[in-house]
Structure 1
Amino acid sequence: MPEATAKAAKPVCYHCASPVSDSEAIFAEIDGEQQMFCCHGCKSVCQTIFSAGLQGFYQKTTPDETLAPPPTQHTEFEAYDQEAIQDDYVTSHGSQREIHLLIEGIHCPACIWLIEQTLHHQPGVIRAEANFTAKKLRLSWDSQRTTLSAILKRLASVGYAGVPFDPETAEGALARRHRDLLYRMAFAGFCMMNILWVSIALYAGAAEDEFRNWFHWIGFGLATPTLLYSGFPFFRNAFTGLRNWRLTMDLPIAIGATATYLYSVYITVTGSTQGEVFFDTVVNFIFVILIGRYLQAISTRNALSATRRLLTLQPKMATVVHGDDTKLTPIRLVSPGDVVLVRPGETVPVDGDVIAGDSAINESMLTGESALVVKQVGDQVVAGSQNSEGALHVRARAVLRDTALARILDLMEAAQSDKSALQSLADRIVPWFVLITLCLATLTFLSWLGQDFEIALLAAASVLVVTCPCAFGMATPMSIAVASGVGAQRGILVKNGAVLEKLSTVNHVVFDKTGTLTTGELTIRKILPANGYTDEQVLRVAASVEQLSEHAVARAVVNHSQSRGLEICSVTAFRAVPGRGVKALLDGHEVAVGTMAWLASFINVDDVWYAECEEAEKQGISCVLVVQHNTIIGLLGVTDTLREDASQAIAALLNQHIQVSVLSGDRYAVVAAVVAQLGAVKCIAEVLPEDKQQKIRQLQQQGHTVAMVGDGINDSPALIQADVGIAVAAGTDVSIEAADIVLSQNRLMQVVEARRLAGHTLRTIKQNIVLSIIYNLIMVPLAMMAMVSPLMAAVTMPISSLLVIGNAARIGRVK
């Protein structure tokens, strides 16, 4: 704070105004003047602010307000065990904790295997799932058995640095990785252009005269720094893997480059005229491999653009309202209950309720719907949506990790971290792939050694470079990462990646009726009072006992009574029997509202009521009876309406030769009347909530692969039992506990879209695996026959990975 520091008697930090001693002071030139800082963190932040042209930030800070210094980069891992630090990144479930780490140093699928195998043997680690495409690790551990610092130390011991993941950290690390790769690639490119002149001279005849050795030493001078600087990542990763008895894909590359380089050094130092130097080969294939990795990194980033767009939706600042004043506040300092001002054109920073103003909101990145949604007082808004017109005052209900946007991102993280059977198989194969590569290179070298040492060396180097398990290892995670991002963008939230593989094989879809296949908004269609009672009396008794229930029938009864202006009385001793009805005491007398079968178990039911119910059920009307003094005083008939796209969705599934069933606790006649509108759909009726799971199990025992579509709350046991559980839920109330997939738009056609996405993803995975296998089947024999040079091997190796990435990116074009 410039103003504050000018007035201070003791030297203070220019940025945070903390006292600074002369021995600890750090100086930097800011805006043409030398300024003092307390730490490198403050200096870096201040330089960033001025370089971005945001120096007005300091003028907005009052003289009596001090800025906290930015958190320092701890070299001691124990700092990560502090609760204050873990609160921002760690999810706790008792002693079990979970965190997403950004991992620096991942270069190939073998790195994934090394990280997971190392941490699985670490005491206290429950789960460690690394993601190659996103360079992230999903880590679960028992805090009573180990600490996060111990895990990070173990990770560092095998050559990988892990830091808690957040979008800013991810973008910064990604930029540093790309910049480092670009520098190494540029240096190798510079040396390659110069060494080509040496090669041209040697091939043009200089190898036959007295300048031959001089050209060799020039090549040595260019190849040596290229190998040590540009090739350093290959040697570092290869050494780290060997130190931990693990084989990484960088090992064959390091061996090939080293062997070719050392032979060239031998020819150069001894001055032998019996052999050739291959410094140009070393420089060229290092440069080409780095180009491939850079293109692969860029292509991966582009393929995951949907995920990255969601990561950037959360604003960093919010305008908090305090009376008549507003203050721009970091989002981390906003709490539930605060009132936030969202101006036109701004992004909503929190989940909350509109308390003033009206506007139209764009929620397309969360729901997939491009149409603007009108928001007025009392409506809910979600973080990440865009305000387009008027200003809104929003009372925050959830911030940061508790928002719907954060839960969607958590789902995507889980989907990209979980492994399908194909991915688990690929991860196990990759280390053996490297071992086979080394064996084939050795065999090639020995086979050619008797004929020509140089051919043997180059052929072996070609084998080491050309064999590439990267494409094979990327086939599944790349496809699942793209699919989960595309799905989230369209309102299909996949909880784990393996479910996409299962969903593509589903041959039987079971829909819950109320609230899933239908809107769940029941209305009173029929009122039939007993002799001596009126409609109002029956409704008043029913509404009084139902007011404490959360069932859809209860809401319909209460709403209808209120719309007719009836008084609802208080009751005591309320008790609900799931799937049957409710009981309570009204004015000291027991009353009950429930199904015919339940009431018949403790009162006498006249045949006339059976007849009335049967007639109503044929018309699709569900009936409940109202009982007072152990006597039926009336009948209430309720109806529900199908969702707009129910017929379209079920027709699409039937056209794909998928069996469809409707599962409900309603009477068979009611369910049959609803199903009759949908075509060849099986009816499973009169099933209590606790028995739905058994019905799903019976279908599975009959050989069906079952997807259950429900509301994610009442149908939890059935959703868990099904091969794939699909929950239809509102975007702000995502239910992820039981379901494998959550449909945030409440559209049943998303079930069809999800299966289409899963089918396309599985086909893409298989195509990618076939591509990688075909590449190796063609190129490895050619390399062993010395028909592929090391340079050509370096050119073709990344092509297979780029083909896999490009093919996976096609998933985003699924209609």
Structure 2
Amino acid sequence: MQQTCFHCGQAIPEGDLILKPIEGEERSFCCHGCASVCEVIYESGMQSFYQRTPEGELLSPPPAPNKDIEFYDYDEVQEQYVNELGDRREITLMSETIHCAACVWLIEHTLAKTDGILMARVNFTNKQIKLRWDNSKVKLSDIIKTLNSIGYDATPYDASVSEAATKKANRDLLYRLGFAGFAMMNAMWFSVALYTGANEDPEYRNYFHWIQLVIATITLAYSGKPFFQGAMTSLKGRTVGMDVSISLGMLTTYLYSVWVTLHPENVGDVYFDTLIDFMFLLLIGRYLEAISKNKAVDASRRLMELQPKVARSLQDGEEKIVPVRALIKGMQILVKPGEQFPVDGQVIKGEGLVNESMLSGESREVRKQTGSKVAAGTLNVDGSMMVEVESILQNTQLGRIVHMVEEAQGSKAPIQCTADKIMPWFVTVTLSLAAFSFVFWLFNADIEFAIMTATAVLIITCPCAFGLATPMAIAVASGVSARHGILVKNGTVLETLRDMDHFVFDKTGTLTKGKMQLARFEAENHLSPAGKKATFKAVASIENRSEHSLAQALVDSICQQEDLRVSQLQEVEHFKAFPGKGVTGTVEGEKWHIGTARWFEEEDIELSFDLREHTLQRAQKAQTAVWVAKNAKVQGVLYLEDELREDAVELIARLKAQGKQVTLLSGDLQVVAQQVAEKLGGMNVIAEVLPEDKNTTIQGLQSNGEKVVMIGDGINDAPALVRADVGIALGSGTDVSMESADIVLMNNQLLSVDTAIALSNRTLRTVKQNIASSIAYNIIMVPLAMSGALTPLIAAITMPLSSLVVIGNAARIRSFFSKKAMRKRQAVHQVSESARSSKAPLV
């Protein structure tokens, strides 16, 4: 005989039998869903549910979990969403069911208990879950099932899918809002009739009450569903969210009104109209909140929209329009004037001007020619160019920027972590206050007044404003700054940067332009003109393999001076870079050393006395010496000189005016670094340091209690950038330095360091304003509600307003980069500069 499911009564298919003990007795179920629902029913003490089910009527089993969820465990699927397919992986999940700060707490604490999950961070503003896990211990499908078990559907984040899901959720909310509005208008007619005399006639009174009951019941079931779903999710996770208090308030009002309707002999008023009204108002607030949040944090979406979705592919000499996703590395595409580059790549034919303002924030156009690099999303102004594809979509520079912005928007500042600790207690206190109000007024007034007061308390308290205070401000600030060339990768720095007291600058490429010119080559006496030419060519060939700014400067200078093209450089074997020291390489069987004098001494390469003296004289002119040796024999010294950045002097002056300590950290000779520091208006100098020394230097400053910011651009700056409390890299620097930094100045403007400090001040001020407003709201409104001075209807109006105030205040950060605000900041700095100049002593 075929078994039937204990819960739904349907036949259990062969092989699908699930056995689970219920109150000590083993029961049969057709699926895990039925077993879980039955277990919850018994745990809640509602087993009489099965006795009330009509005889012979089958229940519908809960919806089956997504059968395709295991597909997410395949590497071929995950590579679309995961950067590296090692044991430790990172992914961003999207869950539209996240709607309050309590959801954040529940998800993070549930996942934290799961073995194999290394990090779980929820972004309240864009409903994303940033996840890092050990794939050898737990599968992605199991993590998603864990989220499903506590009521949160989750899927890997995809920008287009996410946007569609957001639109669908907002549309669903709008339908429920519209239905509640329609019900409110109809219920209002009956309320008007009751208030104008029908209430005196028991027959009409009872008739209108029943009609309102029908309208309220349907409205509660449909329009109130989001609140009940949120409440069930919270209770299932053994926590309480704001939807618990709202649902409790609505059900209390509804059930009391039903009791009055069912017992017309008792004198009392129904509050169906009030219930529908504040349901409508709550949905308005939630809808406006969703729209406002989307507008406030859509910077990353607008950035990604700059990247074209199709490209002109050149296949066998023919031009075809193909999706960018179909392109692979090495393919060739054509970009015509007025079009945006759809990929990152290298120009192999053609030339023209390119507008890169969307990446750098600068409106100045850059000329591109054969060999130049181009970035996806930038605009081809006036030339037709053939480009070889190097990377597409999320792997492009624009894609990485969008990823970094989303990372920053999802990161938590220290002040937000404090707020998160408070959240679990917030609603518990609310329920306690509501219960106290109900009991107090039950004995000091009547049951109607007690119910209405308790309901007002349940609805008026809003933890959302408190939960949104920090993430909204950080999300807006990081998004708008990215559009103006300041890429904030970690939202935490927006809170901490303003408190930093020591700014340490790398010299070459940071305070200077990094475009050094070859000023002179001082050769050894034995070197002939032909030997000099061969030395130049060998140096250029070897340095062309290096990423260091000095190396590229050498290559450019030598190629220009010797009329060489990059394609004419020699083959280099056994190339090796020694950070902070130099490079080696073999050209045509000859081993070359190119680097510092100190390194040459370590390698036992003899340095002549005359050349040593000459380097000291050149150091007085702030020229950097690069020694060259072939087969351990010195050939001569290359002298490079660099120009200071135009805004370097002004930045140092601004930082000093703010009371910040400023230090120049360099691998150059002490005398060279000192000359540069004097040109910048004077600052501390730490020179002749190796990369590991830079890291140690930063650590030493921190051990003295100083909060350090490191600003650099090279590979050798990466350890120091990571070590510093805040690392700032220039966009013109190496990929390693940009990956290591917390802030990347894509516009390559040093003054953006001061702008970032000002943005940090503005963001933290906004966060404090938001927290203060949300606390003040609750301090003022909760006592009023407990005193009975506020009705549930007024509570429903004011509750969403507190969240909208927080969102609106955070959105004001967008004006930080307005022309008016920038002119005002510039005027303040000019006044300060004038004041300093007037106090300067006459010479």
TM-score range, shorter chain: 0.7 to 0.9
Q: Which amino acid aligns with 2:144?
A: L
Q: 2:412 aligns with which of 394, 416, 419?
A: 419
Aligned to 1:514: 508
SS in 2 for 1:191: helix
Aligned partner (choices 76, 85, 88) of residue 77 of structure 2? 85
Counterpart position of 1:170: 162
Partner residue of 2:113 out of 111, 114, 121? 121
For structure 2, the residue ranges without an aligned partner over 5 or more in a row are: 1-64, 818-843
How far 1:554 sits from its partner (Å)? 4.6
Offset of 1:692 from its aligned partner? Answer: 0.4
Q: Do 2:717 and 2:737's aligned partners in 1 also have CA atoms closer than 8 Å? A: no
SS at match of 2:514: coil
2:211 to 218, 222, 225: 218
Between the aligned partners of 1:734 and 1:124, the Cα distance in structure 2 is 29
Q: Answer whether contact 2:347 2:372 (CA < 8 A) is retained.
A: yes
2:518 and 2:350 mapped to 1: Cα distance? 35
Q: Is the 8 A contact 2:542 2:585 kept in 1?
A: no
Paired residues for 1:398-797 under 5 Å: 398-451=391-444, 452-531=446-525, 533=527, 537=531, 540-541=534-535, 544=538, 547-549=541-543, 550=546, 551-562=548-559, 563-564=561-562, 577-582=578-583, 592-600=593-601, 602=604, 608-626=610-628, 634-711=636-713, 713-730=715-732, 735-797=737-799
Note if contact 2:715-2:736 (Cα within 8 Å) is conserved in structure 1. no
Aligned to 1:377: 370
- For the structure 1 residues 588 and 317, does the alpha-carbon distance in structure 2 shift closer, same or farther, using more than 3 Å as the test? closer
Note the C-alpha offset of 1:431: 1.7
Q: For residues 757-802 of structure 1, what are the alpha-carbon distances to aligned partners after superposition, in whole Å with 9 as ceiling and x for unaligned?
A: 2221111111111110000000001001011110100100011100
In 1, the alpha carbon distance for the partners of 2:240 and 2:572 equals: 72
Contact 1:523/1:638, CA 8 A, preserved across alignment: yes
1:447-497 alpha-carbon deviations (Å, 9 max, x no partner): 111022111111100000000010000011111111111121112112221
The letter of the residue matching 2:176 is R
CA displacement 1:687-712 (0-9 Å, x = unmatched): 11111001111111222211101115
> Structure 1 residues 598 and 748 mapped into 2: Cα distance closer, same or farther (>3 Å)?
same
Q: Which amino acid aligns with 2:562?
A: R
Number of the residue aligned with 1:154? 146
Whether the 8 Å CA contact 2:75–2:85 is kept in 1: the answer is: no
Q: SS of 2:519's equivalent?
A: strand
Which secondary structure does the structure 2 equivalent of 1:526 belong to? strand
CA distance in 1, matches of 2:513, 2:530: 27
Of 136, 141, 150, which residue of structure 1 is paired with 2:133?
141
Write the distance in 2 (CA, Å) between the matches of 1:397 and 1:629: 38
Query: Which residue identity does 1:182 align to in structure 2?
Result: L
Q: 1:586 to 1:484 in 2, by over 3 A?
A: closer
Residue 504 of structure 1: SS of its match in structure 2? helix
Partner of 1:234: 227
SS at 2:740's partner residue?
coil
Which position in structure 1 is the counterpart of 2:240? 247
Other structure's SS at 1:742 match = strand
How much has 1:116 moved relative to structure 2? 1.5
Query: TM-score, normalized by length of structure 1?
Result: 0.86
Distance between the aligned counterparts of 1:375 and 1:514, measured in 2?
25
Give the letter aligned to residue 94 of structure 2. L
Query: Which AA in structure 2 matches 1:795?
Result: I
Structure 1 residues 527 and 335 mapped into 2: Cα distance closer, same or farther (>3 Å)? Answer: closer
Amino acid at match of 2:516: L
Mapped to 1, the partners of 2:74 and 2:110 lie a distance apart of 24
Q: CA–CA distance in 2 between the matches of 1:574 and 1:329?
A: 40
The alignment covers a number of residue pairs equal to 743
| Change beyond 3 A, Cα 1:161–1:582 | closer
1:500 Cα offset (Å): 1.7
Return the offset for 1:349.
1.5
1:322 aligns with 2:315: yes
Could you list the runs of 5+ residues in structure 1 that have no partner in the other structure? 1-72
Cα shift at 1:630: 6.9
Secondary structure in 1 matching 2:376: coil
Deviates more, 1:610-619 or 1:659-668: 610-619
Contact kept in structure 1, 2:409 and 2:471, CA below 8 Å: yes
**For 1:283, which of 249, 269, 276 is the aligned residue?**
276
Specify the code of the residue in structure 2 equivalent to 1:564: E
Partners of 2:331 and 2:141 in 1: how far apart? Answer: 35
Partners of 1:426 and 1:351 lie apart in 2 by: 41
C-alpha distance 670-134 of structure 1, shift in aligned 2 (>3 A):
same
Alpha-carbon RMSD: 2.6
State the TM-score, normalized to the length of structure 2: 0.83
1:189 alignment partner in structure 2: 181
Per-residue displacement from partner, 1:155-194 (whole Å, max 9, x unpaired)?
1122221122222111211111111100100111111111
Which SS does the other structure have where 2:503 is aligned? strand
